[in-house]
A and B are shown apart, each in its own frame.
Chain A
């Protein structure tokens, strides 16, 4: 009996030795240690079980904490984005070049590209309107192509998709730019353009909301030959009618397209819709 007890004791001692060694040395030792324990049938000691459970519980809470922190950060970022937006846009009431009323509510449900100009503009306005036309042509077809891929999944029709953009031309020359003049002028640009005009006060109000400067005097001669000095920006408004971006003259159409595509894919991620 005595030698047997001695044997057990010796084994315990050996294991303790190994354990101490593995603590002081590196990983290879630990592996050796485990091997020897497996060999000895000592893997599930109460201590190792306790450590395992403790580590598991610890990791669980740690991951939960990290996840919460990430969500919080993302939320903060989103809030910042919304608070960081310039206050551009707001209520306005104008008339389209086909004679229908048009207000800020008509911006809802579509991505609008808004440009302020006048029909007697020598070179900058037509260049900017050409830019918007080119952007619409390619963003339209580009998204068109991507929709075709998704057709089976989303059952979105190409027709529906084509209607997510709304280019607007708002005249800052209310005295001369009548409905027919604006309508005629826009024939040279993208067919989806809607021209908007209003009284001097209505024009002034929409320009104020969009922070657009214009120099037409209220008493200008309707038959006069004059130019209007005005701010040159193409505004991108989202389907909630909120301001997204203002593109200056120096921003090329490729850059505008990239930005629009980015915004739409983000919008789609957040809302599940393109507009």
Chain B
């Protein structure tokens, strides 16, 4: 089911291929787009809203990647906010 499911348990897990990465990034983007549409930044806070997208995302990406992308989404959002604040502050001082 997971992302390394293609390799059986006796074999060592294979490295993700370009295809695997592409699929993971696409499902991630779809899921994040859905989160944006319901106004949620932190993954998991959307309730049942993006169930379909979330399922695809989790099927296509390793758990470590999901954690990483979700975390980065929160950080990027905080950064954007800080930049916006900085921008409006700069605008205020100019006035």
Which residues of A pack against B, CB within 8 Å?
119-120, 122-123, 126, 176-178, 180-182, 184-185, 187-188, 222-223, 225-227
Which residues of chain B come closer than 8 Å to A180, judged between CB atoms? 12
Contact of B25 among A119, A123, A188 (CB under 8 A): A123
Contact of A120 among B12, B16, B69 (CB under 8 A): B16
Say what secondary structure dominates the interface of chain A: loop
Contacting pair A227 B15 (CB below 8 A): no
Nearest-CB distance from B83 to chain A (Å)?
17
**Known: A123-B25, A126-B18, A188-B17. Contact between A222 and B12, CB under 8 A?**
yes
> Beta-carbon contacts of B55-81 to A below 8 Å, as 1s and 0s?
000000011110011000000000000
Nearest-CB distance from B69 to chain A (Å)?
7
**Known: A120-B62, A126-B21, A225-B63. Contact between A184 and B15, CB under 8 A?**
yes
Which residues of chain B come closer than 8 Å to A119, judged between CB atoms? 15-16
How many interface contacts (CB-CB < 8 Å) are there between A and B? Answer: 45
**Known: A126-B21, A188-B17, A225-B62. Contact between A181 and B12, CB under 8 A?**
yes
> Beta-carbon contacts of B22-66 to A below 8 Å, as 1s and 0s?
001100000000000000000000000000000000000011110
**Known: A126-B18, A126-B21, A188-B18. Contact between A225 and B12, CB under 8 A?**
no
Which residues of chain A come closer than 8 Å to B86, judged between CB atoms? none
Cβ-closest chain A residue relative to B67: A227
**Known: A126-B21, A227-B64. Contact between A178 and B12, CB under 8 A?**
yes
Nearest-CB distance from A216 to chain B (Å)?
13
Nearest-CB distance from A142 to chain B (Å)?
25
Nearest-CB distance from A249 to chain B (Å)?
14
Complex formed: what's the CA distance from A226 to B13 in Å?
Answer: 13
Contacting pair B68 A227 (CB below 8 A): yes
Complex formed: what's the CA distance from A119 to B16 in Å?
Answer: 7
